[in-house]
Amino acid sequence: MQDQKFSLPIRVYYQDTDAGGVVYHATHLHFLERARYEWLRQLGYGVHELLNAHQLQFMIRSLEIEYFKPAILDDLLQITVDVVDLGRSRISLAQEILCDQNRLVNATVHAVCVSTESLKPVSIPAPLRKKIEISK
Contacts 24+ apart (CB under 8 A), 37-41: 38/6, 38/8, 39/6, 39/8, 39/81
Of 3, 18, 85, 100, which residue is the catalytic one?
A: 18
Burial class (CB in 10 A: 0-12, 13-18, 19+), 83: middle
The question of whether 82 is a catalytic residue gets the answer no
Please name which of 25, 90, 29 lies closest in space to residue 63, comparing C-alpha atoms.
29
Q: Which residues have a catalytic role annotated?
A: 18
